Structure 1
């Protein structure tokens, strides 16, 4: 009976708290509206991460390429490098090289003209198949998150639904991508990494445990935030804290499905992945989509408080990791699937991977960092 009651609650009240999951407040004030952000230039196919370059341009990973985006609105674009495999996390080194996380290949160092110079392919004898995020300390030390030993970055939904034991790790190496070692293992899809202001520790997001972890450079670690309402992606350091992106929102229905291994196994075997009950970067409103009827009010109008198939969410954190403010693109919005956000001078730019665009946050956020 308890199982049946949980199922009914998950379907009828998908945004109610379950097992300690916090629910976002329902405020729709302008200050929380990510959809007020201004789109920059033409669409970019699935932008994933961004890194301000030493030349004043913005470098954006998109598919198998890294784009160099220049101009006042970063709307003058050209291919900086085509790496042949999906590219994710990006970071610049103090000596002017761009480090790129490449699915199935590891980390590749690119010269200022886009040529490959060095590569990190394996750590402690295990291939670096799933690099998700990267950051570089001022002394040139490189830190990389390896999301999973089982799946590449593009198969993140399969990794979540398989519910395998946490196999991600935080890797550290020198500026030459040599002397690599595992700093912390057993992480649940680590998806973002940034150094603290004094560079004595790293903050790491874990998507599948919905948490933010502090890891000293000497090893160990402790949980700073144990239970985010969304699945965290990358975080970038700002002058007074951090910007953090969330690529999707958690829901009671998804949490229920994650507790049912037989149902998940059958769903994964018989249903197309885009129709699985789980988080999504965007919601094209397929009539076969799970819970889609719950999002309809009348004549195709969607309720902003309805079950969230996809969502847009980013936040600013204090230096201690506490949330200071947040920006939302709710159900029916057009800025979903946020995978990266960072300060570029006085501006704050985000990747809306679910809606193929770069956006600039409103003036309130520009002054917040």
Structure 2
């Protein structure tokens, strides 16, 4: 009886009893179009895992690693591919250390290489599932921290991991010298970013919309940044102190509602191609089969501001304690969507938008100490 009265009152007043609300983009996340205004350095489909190893800028595209070189153009300094080498299987993550490059190859293991690939050694660790390594970071020259997004789905199956409400991610500490690995955290909901800060780690936990901190041994876990309006991804250190946090896709109330409808979600997963699920995406607008199309999203060929947003571009500058300071966005009608990686090089931040297939540059580094 009480429940019926509560539902009737909620319907009358417009309350949401399903828990499908999403925190607003406000304060440090106030909307802007800074990523769309940033200069495009290179158009490269499926660009991912931007890292700076020594003086060399590297990125991955599917099963290849590309070495990038600066080029001068009419719009300033751009990038071009100077060399590419194949890894045989998809590259899911890369991390740069002191003249070392760690490359996670799906289903194969983690390779420790020189930046040019002249030397390469494969590390296979039986307990660590190499099909879903989402992020890595060097604690020192002999210690590598590894985030495994899920032990049930591959890295490219992140949508399935979200829509099946899986929480089977873990964090591992690898001793490169002894070839041993220790799990320091488990039961995480798709850890997709990791960074080392002195004696602690920051880990982005995508499906719980938060960044957590913990000790190098996995102790003292606590929420550093929570209740985010988007899914947090990789984290990169900032040269002036603090961090850069990528959020690869936005949350929206319709997806939050579908996550609570188990039978509907089960039938959707079983009968529909993942590209057309009611789920977040790295890029949208490529097919009329996507959900909520036509007049539901556009009027007079302009995107309605209230229509559901499936993809955006979002990079957040955070301070040393992971508090948000400012952000750089590409909104629903922009074209720098699905940011999955970034790195600082040459006094600017390079941002890799995998969804849109672009590398853009942010020059606002000097004078913005967090």
- Indicate conservation of the 8 Å contact 1:99/1:108, yes or no: yes
Deviation per CA, 1:69-96, whole angstroms, max 9, x where unpaired?
01154523134431111113211222x2
Provide the alpha-carbon RMSD of the alignment. 2.9
Structure 1 length as normaliser, TM-score?
A: 0.87
Q: Distance in 1 between matches of 2:107 and 2:30?
A: 42
SS at structure 2 position matched to 1:172: strand
Match of 2:74 in 1: none
Equivalent in 85, 88, 91 of residue 84 of structure 1: 88
- Indicate conservation of the 8 Å contact 2:20/2:257, yes or no: no
The alpha-carbon deviation at position 115 of structure 1 amounts to: 4.5
The alpha-carbon deviation at position 368 of structure 1 amounts to: 3.0
- Indicate conservation of the 8 Å contact 1:306/1:331, yes or no: no
Match of 2:271 in 1: 270
Q: Distance in 2 between matches of 1:13 and 1:283?
A: 30
Structure 1 residue ranges, 4+ long, deviating more than 6 angstroms after superposition: 26-30
Q: Distance in 2 between matches of 1:202 and 1:137?
A: 9
SS at structure 2 position matched to 1:85: coil
- Indicate conservation of the 8 Å contact 1:348/1:366, yes or no: no
Cα separation, partners in 2 of 1:367 and 1:284, compared to 1, 3 Å: farther
Confirm whether residue 359 of structure 1 aligns to residue 363 of structure 2.
no
Any stretches of 5+ residues in structure 1 without a counterpart? none
Cα separation, partners in 2 of 1:116 and 1:260, compared to 1, 3 Å: farther
Q: Distance in 2 between matches of 1:34 and 1:127?
A: 35
SS at structure 2 position matched to 1:157: helix
Match of 2:231 in 1: 231
Match of 2:122 in 1: 119
Cα separation, partners in 2 of 1:32 and 1:141, compared to 1, 3 Å: same
Cα separation, partners in 2 of 1:305 and 1:59, compared to 1, 3 Å: farther
- Indicate conservation of the 8 Å contact 2:279/2:310, yes or no: yes
Match of 1:131 in 2: 133
SS at structure 1 position matched to 2:355: helix
- Indicate conservation of the 8 Å contact 2:29/2:327, yes or no: no
SS at structure 1 position matched to 2:153: coil
**Aligned pairs, how many?**
354
Structure 2 length as normaliser, TM-score?
A: 0.87
Cα separation, partners in 2 of 1:128 and 1:297, compared to 1, 3 Å: closer
- Indicate conservation of the 8 Å contact 1:210/1:226, yes or no: yes
Q: Distance in 2 between matches of 1:295 and 1:106?
A: 45
SS at structure 2 position matched to 1:129: helix
Match of 1:97 in 2: 100
Any stretches of 5+ residues in structure 2 without a counterpart? 72-76
- Indicate conservation of the 8 Å contact 1:191/1:204, yes or no: yes
SS at structure 2 position matched to 1:341: strand
Match of 2:154 in 1: 152
Q: Distance in 2 between matches of 1:110 and 1:343?
A: 21
Q: Distance in 1 between matches of 2:195 and 2:241?
A: 13
Q: Distance in 2 between matches of 1:141 and 1:202?
A: 13
Q: Distance in 2 between matches of 1:74 and 1:60?
A: 15
- Indicate conservation of the 8 Å contact 2:125/2:180, yes or no: no
Match of 1:170 in 2: 171
